[in-house]
Structure 1
Amino acid sequence: MKRSFTMFIILIVFLLFTAGCWNRRELNELAVTLAIGLDKTSDDQYLLTAQVVNPGEVAGDRGAGSSPVIIYSAKGKTVSEAIRKITDESPRRIYPSHLRVLVIGESLAKEGIGKPLDLFSREWDMRSDFYIVVAKGMDAKNILKVPTALEKIPANKLFNTLSLSSKVWSGTSAITLDELITDMVSEGKQPVLTGIQADIKGDEETSLSKQNVERIDMPARLSYNGLAVFDKDKLVGWLNEKQSQTYTVVTSKEKSTVVDVSCPKGGKFVYQVMSSNTEMKGKIKNGKPEIDLNVHVEGNISEVECPIDLTKTESIDQLEEIYEKTSKKVFKKAIKQVQEEYKTDIFGFGEAIHRADPQAWKKLKKDWAKHFENVPVNIRVQGEIRSIGTIDNPFQEKLK
């Protein structure tokens, strides 16, 4: 009897934990949203644009030939209000748990992104691994309207393109919500976000319709361009290509890229970066902050357009030395431009000083923007060539 009573209690406890999904959401009641755009309107409201998957068009070959995504927009005094007001038009509730990309309009970015981002960091059913980008010179809504080729769903195109570009071209950086918030609240490092543009040629109505992806030379294209510089949560300017590449190198975010370098006797060769790592050290010298950067790069020779004998060790040494000098010059110039033009520490020099001397940082952090503008940066670049490819000397020499 005692054994039976014990089993009965265990069964009751087990049933309590298998009572079902009290907060279940049926798929046919949700509008699966893969991209969201945020803008600020002239009447000081948020304009939220949701790129919602049209399930009938992405489920195998059963589509009826309509668009794979649908755009819904609504205005609200808060982001939460705007999301809920979309139900005035949408028959399903916005479901952002599978969000891939958040696009922020440039005007909103200049005003400040801290407040509208609160919902995305607070919402319990929203992941934080989506990318955040800034619409360069335009509204986020216009970015999400552009149909794309290769990827049926434009949000997947935006996500996959940035993910790939950040791995093979150092001019972009894939920033997630957690990384952005960490940099915004940091006392010694300011955030950046990759910019995105829509290049629309010809008739806008045709370019933003399904006909856009039915042409070989699409009249409307989306492309990433430069990094947006933030002071806390406000956009203050844009980095050019060299400055953007320098940022990824200094912050050890460079995974791979290619660099054009001059040859000893004219012409050029292409250095393909295979791995890159930067050791950053802060120090206080004569009572003032100073930064040491030790950049170590390994790569291959990807292309040669100059007369040089690559079978000789001294030739490889020459190319490594030229790459190191060229890169050092580019890095120093770009860092100085950021210091003088934006006075915003996107590189994390303040964090390096804090790690090296916490007591000195307590005195410096109140006016760090002024100190950052003048802090000396010592750069050492070590570039190694691991491979010259499947041939040794350029075959062009034989053509002569």
Structure 2
Amino acid sequence: MKKRLLLCITLLFLLTSLTGCWSKRELDELAIATGLGLDKTENGYKFTVQIINPAEVAAKTISTRTAVTTYTSEGRSMFEALRGLTDKAPRKVYLSHIRKVVFGEELARSGISETLDFLTRDHELRTDFHMAVAKGMEAHDLLTILTPMEKIPASKMYFSMQTSRDYWAPSIVVKIQQLITQILSDGQEPVLSGVYNVGDLEKGSRLENVEDVGAPTDVRVDSVGVFKGDRLIGWMDQAQSKGFNYIQGNVRNTAEYFTCKDDGSITLEVMKAKSDKTVSIQNGEPHFNVKVMVEGNIADVECEVDLMKVDAIKELEQSFSKQLTILLNETVKDVQEDYQSDIFGFGDLLHRKDPAYWKTVKQEWDSTFPEVDISVDATVEINRTGTISNPYKLDKEK
């Protein structure tokens, strides 16, 4: 009897200590946002969210309703603009599933540090979303474009950026903690990928855009924006963006087009790329050296070359190494001359290598960086030539 009484008292005590789902929120009470666009206005900010229509995402039959809806509000602060959505959206906007945050170019050029405060301070936002800049346009306009294949445009941008990084290399995936670290760093400036539309913007927001097999309007990711502090100062083109990623060791897989000695071209599928940066102090001046090692396979031959000969392969490797070296050195020079922004992190490398010397140049690094000596040397190694030996034209002549 005493044991039963003791058990009952214990159970009652446990029941009083249990917390219920006091903070629960049902799905049908929330508007789940997957994309967030931030733009600058005269008096503050424009806040655009891309909201999922769950019934359309899960639908098995085609309807005339879109899978997402966008809502826009303006406010003097980010949070005021967010709460201003309540008089437009039928439910409270839920930000925990954001996959893409896009800054309008005007906002990016004026500075993004104040918006980053909101994005890191709000407890609902996670930190695994991708960040980008709407190149030459407002983020609001970009989020209104409906995309084929992916019903949710924010997911399309998310996966396109990952695919571009993994298989083409002119873009870079940046998350919020990495961006903040680079902004606060003394020796490295931030970069963000650019996202923009191709085609008629008005047509892109209509359902007909995803009903046409050719999709008249689409979203592209193929360039990198250069920052100084928290401000966007310019854009690298596609070749420069790939060059930047080679130097940073970010290239995983891509295609490189090389010209042959006489005529024609060979395309190399890059399978592996590494980068090694070093610095030395000579006569009181820093000298940086970057070695880029590339391994790849022959993917396409449009010139006369005998791939069965070892000497021919070695000659191609030397030619490819020279061409890539020129591209990478031009990329560094262009950044030094046009932007004067150390997006490569050479200042951070100098800081880690020689902290005492870094203290002497830290304050003037912005003006010193454009003049420092930076040498890039690329080495290309061909591993495989494909499933055939020589080009069909050369085999026919034999």
Structure 2 length normalisation: TM-score?
0.95
SS of the residue 2:179 aligns to: helix
- CA 1:374 to 1:206, structure 2 compared with 1: closer, same or farther past 3 Å? closer
Question: How far is the alpha carbon of 1:224 from its aligned partner?
Answer: 1.5
Tell me if 1:127 matches 2:126. yes
Q: Given the superposition, is the C-alpha separation of residues 4 and 326 from structure 1 closer, same or farther in structure 2, using an over 3 Å criterion? A: farther
Give, as a single letter, the amino acid of the residue that structure 2 aligns with 1:47: K
Q: For residue 345 of structure 2, what is the aligned residue in structure 1?
A: 348
CA distance in 1, matches of 2:128, 2:45: 23
In structure 2, the CA distance between the partners of 1:360 and 1:210, relative to structure 1 (3 Å rule), is: same
1:25/1:376 CA distance change after superposition, 3 Å: same
Partner of 2:334: 337
Q: Distance in 2 between matches of 1:84 and 1:334?
A: 44
- Could you tell me which of 282, 298, 308 is aligned with 2:295? 298
- The residue aligned with 1:288 is 285
Secondary structure, counterpart of 1:82 in structure 2 = helix
Q: Deviations over 1:219-277 (max 9, x none)?
A: 21111231111101001111112211111111111111111112233221111111111
Q: 1:241 aligns to what? A: 238
1:199 deviates by: 2.0
Superposed, which structure 2 residues align to 1:129-168 within 5 Å?
Answer: 129-168=128-167
| Paired letter, 1:287 | G
Moved over 4 A (4+): 1-18
User: Any residues of structure 2 matched to 1:88-107 within 5 Å, and which?
Assistant: 88-107=87-106
Please state if 1:27 is matched with 2:24. Answer: no
Is the partner of 2:90 in helix, strand or coil?
A: coil
Residue 384 (structure 1) aligned with residue 385 (structure 2): no
* Distance in structure 1 (CA, Å) of the matches to 2:301 and 2:322: 18
- More divergent stretch after superposition (56-65 vs 82-91): 56-65
Q: Is the 8 A contact 1:56 1:62 kept in 2?
A: no
Distance in 1, matches of 2:45 and 2:134, equals: 15
**Residue 178 of structure 1: how far off its partner (Å):** 1.5
User: Equivalent residue for 1:40?
Assistant: 40
Name the CA shift for 1:374/1:61 in 2 (closer, same or farther; >3 Å).
same
Question: Which of 267, 292, 317 is matched with 1:270 structurally?
Answer: 267
After superposition, the Cα gap between the structure-2 partners of 1:205 and 1:343, relative to the gap in structure 1 and judged at 3 Å, is closer
Specify the alignment match of 2:196 in structure 1.
197
Find the residue that maps to 2:301 and give its secondary structure. Answer: strand
* Paired position in structure 2 for 1:114: 113
Distance 2:352 2:8 in 1: 59
1:369 aligned partner: 366
- Select the residue among 216, 220, 223 that pairs with 1:223: 220
Deviation at 1:18, TM superposition (A): 4.2
Q: 2:205 aligns with which of 181, 189, 208?
A: 208
Deviation at 1:370, TM superposition (A): 1.3
Q: Which residue of 1 aligns with 2:71?
A: 72
Letter in 2 for 1:40: K
Is contact 1:56–1:63 with CA below 8 Å preserved after alignment? Answer: no
In structure 1, distance between residues paired with 2:365 and 2:236: 21
- Kept in 1: contact 2:252–2:272 (CA 8 A): yes
* CA 1:108–1:309: 2 relative to 1, 3 Å: same
Deviation at 1:141, TM superposition (A): 0.7
SS state of the match for residue 317, structure 1?
Answer: helix
Matches within 5 A, 1:54-65: 54-61=53-60, 64-65=63-64
Question: Sequence identity, in percent?
Answer: 37
Counterparts in 2 of 1:286 and 1:13: CA distance versus 1, 3 Å? farther
Please say if residues 31 and 52 of structure 1, whose CA atoms lie closer than 8 Å, have aligned partners that are also in contact.
Answer: yes
Would the alpha carbon gap of residues 310 and 8 (structure 1) be closer, same or farther in structure 2, given more than 3 Å must change?
A: farther
- State the partner residue of 1:318: 315
Q: Aligned to 2:335, what secondary structure does the other structure show?
A: helix
| Structure 1 stretch displaced more, 135-144 or 174-183 | 174-183
Equivalent residue pairs, number:
397
Check the 8 A contact 2:64/2:207 in 1, yes or no: no
SS of 1:249 mapped into structure 2:
helix
Gaps in structure 1 of 5+ consecutive residues: none
Amino acid at match of 1:323: F
Query: Are the counterparts in 1 of residues 43 and 75 from structure 2 also a CA contact under 8 Å?
Result: no
Q: Structure 1 residues 217 and 13, CA, compared in 2 at 3 Å: closer, same or farther?
A: same
Conservation of the 8 A alpha-carbon contact between 2:164 and 2:222: no
1:75: Cα distance to partner? 0.2
Distance 1:18 1:301, change over 3 A: farther
- How many Å separate the matches in 2 of 1:301 and 1:38? 43
Point out the more displaced range, 61-70 or 295-304: 61-70
Determine which of 376, 383, 395 is the counterpart of 2:392: 395
* SS at 1:276 equivalent: strand
Question: Counterpart amino acid of 1:339?
Answer: Q
- AA aligned to 1:152 is K
What SS does the aligned partner of 2:149 have?
coil
Gaps of 5+ in 2: none
Moved more, 313-322 or 217-226: 217-226
Structure 1 residue 218, shift from structure 2 partner: 2.0
State the distance in 1 between where 2:392 and 2:135 align.
43
- Whole-Å Cα distance in 2 between the matches of residues 9 and 333 of structure 1? 79
In 2, the alpha carbon distance for the partners of 1:55 and 1:62 equals 14
Distance (whole Å) between structure 2 residues aligned to residue 9 and residue 285 of structure 1? 79
In the other structure, the counterpart of 2:82 is 83
Query: Deviation string for 1:21-69 (max 9, x for gaps)?
Result: 322221111110000111111x222001100001111123266430110
